[in-house]
Amino acid sequence: MIKLHDKYFKKFISEAQIQEAVARLASEMANDLKEEQPIFIGILNGVFMFFADFMKAYPFPCEMSFIKLASYHGTSSSGNIKELIGLSQDIEGRTIVVLEDIIDTGNTLEELHKIFKAKKVKQFLIGTLFFKPEAYTKQYKIDYIGMEIPNEFIVGYGLDYDELGRNLPEVYQLHTHNMINLILFGKPGAGKGTQANFLKEKYNLVHISTGDVFRYNIKNGTELGVLAKSYMNKGDLVPDEVTINMLQAEVEKNPDANGFIFDGFPRTTAQSEALDTFLATKDMTISATIALEADDEILIQRLLERGKESGRVDDQDETKIRNRFDEYNQKTAPLINYYKAQNKFYSVNGTGSIEEITARLSAVIDEL
């Protein structure tokens, strides 16, 4: 995964795959044009890498030249084509092969046909390394195609995103962050931790437990850990900004993740807003907030049994358990309303076997 300007891109086509396609194109054209002395014309700027590799692979006499056309701004084609650099040599009666790095809408191709029709060439052929058939809207024939690709924005091997990325030897695809980002709610004993482990395996998600993140940073003496401990030692609450920065570090450790499960954060509306703001900087958003719901009496029995096995004091006193439930209700009620307003809140029955509960959670996620 790489970042160019404000966007992330994931590896899409390897250098070896590109070179294989270039060699095949050179072989096909050499077979067809061996009796000619074609003029290969490159469309700047994106074609420079492809053009250089192609010329090294083409085995017969040929000439070369360049023109420059503009059609891209940002990640979308503007549709406004303008010739910026013309041909210097006389091409009337010659075989012309225009080499393109990529053809998508065909706007450039349409303009090229107009240009070369007026110059009375003997033969006009088009070769492109990449072709997006889903985006192509013209009727003109494309004579040579290196590889067909989906209609996604790509960079690398001469292609750019606002002038960055041309020097990459591989091709990268825009990472749209079509992620599953979940927040799990649940009273103590609801099985939130157990279910988080199942979900992260099933959907290849990264489970970020705020408690684990705090313990890791404090134990390892990170800058954020030292800062958090300084507040805790004074008996103060750790500011939301510090927690968000810890979460940000965890997200950035996993740039190729399919998504994240946030566990233990947010706990207030302000924290929810801070999390949304942070995720927006990564072109991400919360997909769903899921609450595991179960009757208090069932959960109390679960915790009391767990307390016998684990020895945890807070799981052995029913009064303390009920107090924890009251605290949960007070804290989560505003959060539930916050995510309901975004149509992102889901309630799932948390009673039954582990497998049954997992199936209910999966049904919600599969619908996202």
Same domain, 303 and 188: yes
Residue 275, pLDDT above cutoff 70: yes
pLDDT at 72: 47
Domain boundary among 139, 174, 209: 174
CATH at residue 359: 3.40.50.300
Helices then strands, counting H and E runs in the chain, come out as: 11, 17
pLDDT in tens, 43-96: 888 899 999 999 999 999 999 998 876 544 454 444 454 444 667 778 899 999
Closest C-alpha among 365, 368, 210, 183 to residue 290: 183
Taking a C-beta distance cutoff of 8 angstroms, is the pair 266, 335 a contact?
Answer: yes
CATH at residue 165: 3.40.50.2020
Taking a C-beta distance cutoff of 8 angstroms, is the pair 176, 285 a contact?
Answer: no
Is 171 or 324 the better-scoring residue by pLDDT?
171
Same domain, 110 and 228: no
Take residue 256 and report the two structure tokens written for it.
């190729």
Closest C-alpha among 307, 199, 181, 311 to residue 251: 181
Same domain, 99 and 119: yes
Same domain, 363 and 244: yes
Same domain, 114 and 253: no
The count of structural domains within the chain is: 2
Same domain, 161 and 197: no
Same domain, 61 and 153: yes
pLDDT in tens, 91-127: 899 999 999 999 998 887 877 888 888 888 999 999 9
Question: What average pLDDT does the segment 161-172 reach?
Answer: 94
Same domain, 147 and 215: no
Same domain, 219 and 186: yes
pLDDT at 51: 97
Same domain, 118 and 257: no
Residue 25, pLDDT above cutoff 80: yes
pLDDT at 73: 47
Range of the domain at 300: 182-367
* pLDDT cut 70: percent of the chain above it: 94
Taking a C-beta distance cutoff of 8 angstroms, is the pair 342, 276 a contact?
Answer: no
Same domain, 140 and 202: no
Same domain, 17 and 145: yes
Residue 266, pLDDT above cutoff 70: yes
pLDDT at 70: 54
Residue 368, pLDDT above cutoff 90: no
Domain boundary among 134, 157, 174: 174
Question: What average pLDDT does the segment 344-361 reach?
Answer: 91
12-16, 197-201, 362-366 — most confident range: 12-16
pTM above 0.85, yes or no: no
Kind of pairing between the strands at 123-131 and 95-103 = parallel
pLDDT in tens, 168-198: 999 998 876 567 899 998 888 888 888 999 9
pLDDT in tens, 191-249: 888 899 999 988 889 999 888 898 899 999 999 889 988 988 888 878 888 888 998 88
Domain boundary among 158, 174, 190: 174
Contacts of 223 (CB under 8 A, 6+ apart): none
- Which residue shows structure tokens 């041309």? 166
